[in-house]
């Protein structure tokens, strides 16, 4: 790396910040309407709580992806602090959860305090290989945890199928556990409805392969934020987010992994702006829902 892309330049931007890297006032959001979310189960209901936390009602079963409801994506409360919203969200506001679905063990996807609070209202935790060790250490019962390698499928309550699929990323929560646990994406199926949850991943041929093997999808949840040209192997650029959705044969795209933390050196609004531009050029149905808003999705093409 040289010039503006050198490690030193990027590190300096992390310290000093870049223009508009955090919202200047609380982000406009919606108060979560639990009654609206749990009704009308003939469609897919989903609510995005920013970053990679999406609450899903799929044929009456409630799933939440990579739930993080604390104020920092780090082991200390003063680092990687979350943005402010004009509504507050917490585990207490959520309905009973059938499945907590985890993509990998980074702090902005696997949060100790949130997991502990969710335990009393969650039936199952479905995680990649090795991530179960974190949950067990935190006091989650072994009977409540299901583990999957890439290609493995887990059937929940006879009607909800989770299949672990590849992602291009890495794992670890400190200097000594790099890549000791697995990272993955997930295919979620119930009846004739399918959702793809991408976790974190650089763009690659795996999206096309997943689309061929499991698509088409009613809804794709694909990361769109906290990227850098030098990290393209592990984090997709917004244009690649849209291409991944196309590869997956998706109908509706919900860009995730933005609007909560400043984990890179771009404007906080740049991810969605770039994604919307390329989505419009490719006739992709991009859902730019507000944080906390419940969407009722009932079509696939």
Non-local CB neighbours of 207 within 8 Å, separated by 6+ positions? 243, 244, 247, 248
CA gap 100, 54 in Å, rounded: 10
CA gap 259, 97 in Å, rounded: 24
The interaxial angle of helices 206-214 and 238-247, nearest 10 deg, is 30
Residues paired with 196 in a beta bridge: 187, 220
Q: Report which secondary-structure segment, H or E, holds 148.
A: strand 145-148
Q: What is the pLDDT along the chain (301 residues), one digit of tens a residue?
A: 333 455 455 545 555 567 778 899 999 999 999 999 999 788 999 999 999 999 999 999 999 999 999 988 777 776 788 999 999 999 999 999 999 999 999 999 999 999 999 999 999 999 999 999 999 999 999 999 999 999 999 999 999 999 999 999 999 998 889 999 999 999 999 999 999 999 999 999 999 999 999 999 999 999 999 999 888 999 999 999 999 999 999 999 999 999 998 888 889 999 999 999 999 999 999 999 999 999 999 754 4
CA gap 14, 80 in Å, rounded: 11
CATH code at 23-297: 3.60.15.10
Quick check: 216 and 245 in contact, CB under 8 A? no
């Amino acid at each position: 790396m040289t010039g503006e892309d050198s490690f030193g330049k990027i590190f300096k931007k992390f310290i000093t910040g870049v223009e508009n890297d955090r919202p200047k006032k609380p982000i406009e959001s919606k108060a979560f309407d639990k009654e609206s979310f749990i009704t009308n189960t003939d469609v897919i209901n989903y609510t995005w709580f920013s970053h990679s936390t999406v609450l899903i009602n799929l044929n009456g079963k409630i799933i939440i992806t990579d739930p993080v409801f604390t104020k920092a994506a780090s082991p200390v409360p003063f680092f990687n602090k979350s943005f402010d919203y004009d509504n507050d969200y917490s585990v207490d506001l959520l309905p009973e959860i059938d499945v907590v679905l985890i993509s990998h063990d980074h702090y902005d996807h696997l949060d100790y305090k949130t997991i502990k609070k969710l335990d009393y209202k969650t039936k199952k935790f479905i995680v990649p290989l090795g991530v179960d060790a974190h949950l067990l250490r935190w006091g989650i019962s072994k009977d409540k945890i299901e583990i999957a390698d890439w290609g493995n499928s887990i059937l929940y309550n006879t009607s909800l199928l989770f299949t672990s699929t590849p992602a291009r990323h890495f794992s670890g929560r400190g200097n000594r556990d790099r890549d000791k646990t697995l990272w993955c994406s997930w295919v979620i199926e119930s009846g004739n409805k399918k959702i793809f949850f991408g976790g974190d991943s650089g763009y690659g041929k795996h999206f096309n392969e997943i689309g061929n093997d499991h698509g088409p999808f009613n809804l794709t949840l694909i990361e769109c934020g906290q990227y850098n040209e030098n990290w393209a192997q592990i984090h997709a650029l917004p244009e690649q987010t849209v291409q991944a959705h196309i590869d997956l044969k998706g109908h509706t795209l919900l860009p995730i992994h933005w609007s909560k933390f400043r984990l890179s050196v771009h404007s906080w609004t740049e991810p969605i702006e770039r994604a919307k531009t390329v989505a419009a050029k490719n006739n992709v149905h991009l859902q730019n829902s507000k944080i906390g808003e419940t969407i009722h999705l009932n079509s696939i093409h």
